Structure formats: structure tokens, C-alpha cells
Amino acid sequence: MAAAGAATAFGLGGVTTGGAQSDDASSNETTPDEQGPDQLESQYSTVYQETIDSVVLVTVAGTGGPGPGGGGGLGSGFAVDDQHIVTNNHVVQTAPEDGIEIQFRNQEWRTASIVGTDVYSDLAVLAVDDMPEIAAGLSFVESGAVIGQEVLTLGNPLGFNASISQGIVSGIDRSLPSPTGFSIPAAIQTDAAVNAGNSGGPLVNLEGEVLGVVFAGASQTIGFAISARLANRVVPALIDDGAYEHAYMGVGVQPVGPEIAETVDLEEATGVLVMEIVPDAPADGVLEPASTDRPGSGDVIIAVDGQAIPTQAALSSYLALETEPGETIELEIVRDGDRQSVELTLAARPDPERPRVPIGGRPRERPPGTGP
């Protein structure tokens, strides 16, 4: 199946058929059937050959069984060094001890153990003893993705191993729904094909660098990936400490549209309106929520540390990528029509209260939203 998949993916790469040739073309030119492998190779196949040996199939004991969610999981992952593999938390979250098996492209199998997981970013790191030499490890990019750049997804869609799909970055800074009730910020949207089984695999650029960790497909020719910007913060912590602490304000917010802007006396519709505050959270006593019996009440957050905050997604991304628990941030707010600044010391996000429902390879119904 792998050989057939590779032929399908790359059979047209770099080949020009006779329809584009003139009658006086040189008789010394070769036909596609006469061209060698080097002549048929495309840029995509070059990236594929340089990266695919580091991409793995992740299976969890009980896949397809009678238990809730099928009793296990099946997805993708990729080596990042000579010991560790990155995948999605939802791929391995139901795994029993010694219940994770990894298959490499050369058909070798290894048993993996969980080093650390983070339900909020849906990332997990696994450890493999005696990593095969073919898995050299892939690196995350340091910069963000750019809309329109070409990307490739590598993984095991529907269980077909060592597959590749091509597309572009369709959007950035997306907020992905999560079973935790908190969104996953700063995500990448792509039109490269993403199906069940791709989850946990890499989204790479044409240099073979990892732009993101594939999260899910939406069954609408849209796929999503957890950005390297977030993974670069979470993955090292999972390797070193087994966990990652997310910065937390403890607020519920909603975007400021024209109607809200007029009500709270804002000149333009921007920022986020504080709708609720979690008791004893960092925002408690610092920010004021909107009240139904006080039209125009509630603080509007318009900037954090001098960075404009036009939307809830921008607030979540800033907290996720630029701050950490224990840090004091400066909020620029509008309260009762007056601009002012307040300071707030962030805490670590509490453990999720809702059950960790397996995502199953594609987004489910959006849970009730909460703020950062």
C-alpha cells in the first residue's frame, strides 16, 4: 500500500507529456517512460524522502474494541530526536500502560511510553527505546506560518501508512474547539487533505521543517494544525517536566461589535468585553464584568502589555505565546467610558473539569466557550 501511495502522490511530479511538445522537438529528448527516477523527482518527493522516515504510525491497545470511543486510538506522530516522538494527546489519552505501539516506515515496531501530555494544547510526547536509525528527527520552525505558503501533511490517513498530501496555508491564528472548554489558540488552517489517522503527524514546509502538529480535519476540505509557535513552548516542558502550565486570567469574554461599542462608549468596535469572572481567579477584584442591570457596564480589554487585542483569539494567543504563570501583565481597558491601565498577575490554568472526550480525528460540537 505504501508503494502504491507514493506512486499516486508523485507520478506527475516534474513530468511534461508530449502534448506540450512541438513537431520539431529534438529526437534526443526522452519520453516520460524513458526518464530515470532523478528526472521524475519533484520538490514534493524530495521533501517526502527527507522526512517520511521520521513519521510513524501510533496505535493504542484496544483500537476498534467495544469500549467507549473504540477502546483505543490510531494516529500519527513524528520523531523530534533520538528518543522522543510528538503526537496528539487525544491519540494516546486512553492508552493503558505499555499499550502504545509505534510502527516506523521500515516496518519495525517499538513500544512507547508517555513522557508527558497537555490536554489544553492536545500535545503529547512519547519515549521510545532503541529508536531506529532511519528516524533522524524533525525540527519545529521558529517563525510562524505565512498564508499562501505551500505545505505538506505527512502521516497515516485512514490507516494508510507513509502518506503525503499537498496544499497551502489557508489561515493562521485560528482558535480550535477543544473538549476542555478552552480553545487551542494560534492554530494553522490548511487545504492539504487531513483525515482520521493524520492526527499527530507533521505539517511541514518545503524545507521539511515542522510548521505544526496536525490536529484534525473538518470534512470540508479544511484541516488544522497546532502551530509550531505553541509546540515550541509546550513540547520541551513535556520532555523535561511531563506537563506544561498555561497562563490563566479567569475571565469569560465576548467580541466587541458595533452595538456593544456604542453601549460602552467606544469610538470603534474593537477589543473584548469581560462578561464573567471566575471567583478567586487572577481577574477577580481587578476587572469588572458586564451586568444585565447596568447597560454599558463591564471592562473592555483593548491591549495587553501594549499589544492591541482586537478579538478573543488575539487575547488567547498573546497569553499562550507571550506569557507564563506568575507573570504580571498590564491591561489597557475601557471602564465606564474611560481608558485606564490595570495590572494582573497570571496564574496557572486549573485542571479541566469536563471529561477528556476523545476527539476522534475531527472536530466535534463546539463546547461552551470560556475565556483565557
Catalytic residues: 90, 122, 199
Provide the CA 62 distance to its chain's centre, in angstroms.
Answer: 26
Q: What are the CA-CA distances from residue 232 to residues 103, 212, 327 (Å)?
A: 25, 10, 19
- The span from the CA of 162 to the CA of 76, in Å, is 10
Q: Tell me the sheet residues that pair with 184.
A: 176
Q: Which amino acid is at 330?
A: E
Burial 257-288 (b: 16+ CB within 10 A, else e): eeebbebbebeeebbbbbebbbeebbbeebbb
Alpha helices per DSSP H over 18-130: 37-40, 43-51, 89-92
37, burial (CB in 10 Å: exposed 0-12, middle 13-18, buried 19+) = exposed
3-state secondary structure 79-103: ECCCCEEEEEHHHHCCCCCCCEEEE
Burial of 53: CB neighbours in 10 Å, binned 0-12, 13-18, 19+ = buried
**Is residue 298 within 8 Å of residue 271, measured between CB atoms?**
no
Ramachandran angles phi, psi of 46, nearest 5°: -65, -45
User: Taking a C-beta distance cutoff of 8 angstroms, is the pair 91, 73 a contact?
Assistant: yes
Contact yes or no for 214/228 (Cβ under 8 A): no
What is the amino acid identity at position 2?
A
Which helix or strand (DSSP H or E) is residue 248 part of? strand 247-248
Residue 112's closest CA among 75, 144, 162? Answer: 75
What distances in angstroms separate CA 101 from CA 25, 187, 190, 214, 294, one per listed residue?
A: 54, 28, 29, 19, 58
